[in-house]
Each structure stands twice: as structure tokens, then as C-alpha cells.
Structure 1
Amino acid sequence: MDCLFCNIIAGNVPSTKIYEDDQMYVFKDIAPIAPVHYLMIPKQHISGVSALTEENAAVVAHIFAVAAKLAKEAGLDKGFRIVTNCGDDAGQTVHHLHFHLLGGKQMGWSAESGV
């Protein structure tokens, strides 16, 4: 299997797990850009947002519901950000659908900083 995130889900690559259920896996980003920086990924390999269909899109609603719970547990009551990059030009480096949950600091909006 060539997908880094599929290998993380399978336990072949180490990660710091935050949450797991039958549909998704959440772990800490190895290069965080905020005090809280989690990666939320579906267990089913979906290459990105452009590969979502009516048949597989329900997992996104589940991921967002879990994101709200995790943000509350992390104390992000002042706010948080959820980001996904769609394709190479947008900065997607792992072609497995994933969402960054970011929080714990005041964030601006800068394409260069990613925050």
C-alpha cells in the first residue's frame, strides 16, 4: 500500500492517535502549525474532495460531527479552523482525503503561513 494515511490507519506507520472509530482516524500532525493540530481522515481511501460521491460523502458529515466533539474536548471554545487542501496546486501532499483541525491561538489568514 502506497498511501501514507492508509499505512497509518493500518498501524504500519506510527502516529499519536487522538480518536478512532469504524469510519475515521484522528492523529496529531507531525509538523503542527497551531497548538492543536489534528489530522482527521476517513478509513476508506478517498483521494480527496474531488473524489467524493453520493455513495461516500456521508463520512464527511461524521468527521465534522466528531471534529466538534474533539474541539470541545481540546478547549477550543474561542474558535477553531477546519481546512482541507484539494489537489496539488492547493498544497495537498497526501492524496487521501483529510481535514486539519487547528486551534489554540488567534489565527489570521495567510496563504503563506497556512493559518
Structure 2
Amino acid sequence: MVNIMSCLFCKIVDGKVPTNKVFEDENAIAFLDIEPATQGHTIVITKNHFDSFTTTSEDEVAMLFKTVHKVAKALEKTFSLYGMNIGTNVGNIAGQEIHHFHVHLIPRYEGDGGQNGIKSIVWTDSDTNSLDILAARIKENIN
């Protein structure tokens, strides 16, 4: 768990760190990433602090994804995109650097190297012979 007082995104919410904001409402803020993967790379954050996607309430996730949808449509119009990656990292091992729930919107352009989508992030060999067993185990843990 991160100290909320030192959280970069909480400082952005409080107006203590400047950003290139593209959208704000009572629940979320969207701003351009200062280390963009591509032109228009935008981050959408919750105004309330949650360490990650899995610690965020369902209501907050739903509200945030309404903003993600709105911003994604604006990015499509602004940049005449070929596609877009939309995602979040959960935990250090998955690449989460700032422990405040946020979603990346990464516009994709012809020839930018992003054509393999999430498969270009990580792809490992997995046993596909026991998918039914694995699915049953996951179902047991869904509330």
C-alpha cells in the first residue's frame, strides 16, 4: 500500500502537480502521459485513491470506464486512429509504477509497432489441455 500523501496521482487530483488535462469531472481526471508510448497517450485516473484495479470498488470502476470511453472517442476523432490499446497494470510484476488506479489509452498508428496488441506485452507458453479445469477454479472465486 502506498502512502497517499506521496502518491503522484493524488497530487495531480489536489492540483499540486501540473498536467496537460484533457477531461475532468467529479470522479475522474484524464491527462496526457508525460512519457507517452505514442502521440496522444492519455491516462485516466480516479479522483479517490485506490492502489489498483482490484482494490477499487465496482462503482468506481464503472464510473472511471465511462470517462475512459468518452476520452477514447475523443482520441479517435482527434487523431484519426487505426486502433488503440486500453489497459491497466496491476502490481509491480505487471509493470504498475504508480499505485493509484489508472487506465492507459494508447493510440495506435500505422507502422508504430503496436500491431500485436496485448500479445506484444507478454506472451508465455501455457497448458491449454486443462482449460476446463482452470475455468472451473476461477468460477469458484467469482462472487
| TM-score after normalising by structure 1 | 0.84
Question: 1 CA distance for matches of 2:6 and 2:66?
Answer: 29
Structure 2 unaligned spans of 5+: 123-143
Aligned to 1:108: 115
Aligned to 2:53: 49
1:63 partner letter: L
Aligned to 2:125: none
Comparing both chains, which one has the higher relative contact order based on Cα–Cα distances under 8 Å and sequence gaps of 6 or more? 1
Aligned to 2:130: none
Matched, 1:20 2:27: no
How far apart are 1:35 and its partner, in Å?
1.6
Question: 2 CA distance for matches of 1:73 and 1:39?
Answer: 13
| TM-score after normalising by structure 2 | 0.69
Aligned to 1:3: 7
Rg larger for: 2
Aligned partner (choices 18, 30, 36) of residue 32 of structure 1: 36
**Superposed CA RMSD:** 1.7
Do the aligned partners of 1:36 and 1:104 also contact (CA within 8 Å) in 2?
no
Judging by fraction of residues, say which structure has more helix: 2
Do the aligned partners of 1:48 and 1:87 also contact (CA within 8 Å) in 2?
yes
Aligned length: 109
Aligned partner (choices 79, 82, 87) of residue 83 of structure 1: 87
How far apart are 1:12 and its partner, in Å?
0.6
How far apart are 1:77 and its partner, in Å?
5.5
Task: Indicate the percent of aligned positions where both proteins have the same amino acid.
Answer: 37
Do the aligned partners of 2:68 and 2:103 also contact (CA within 8 Å) in 1?
no
Question: 1 CA distance for matches of 2:46 and 2:37?
Answer: 22
Question: 1 CA distance for matches of 2:121 and 2:81?
Answer: 24
Do the aligned partners of 2:81 and 2:108 also contact (CA within 8 Å) in 1?
no
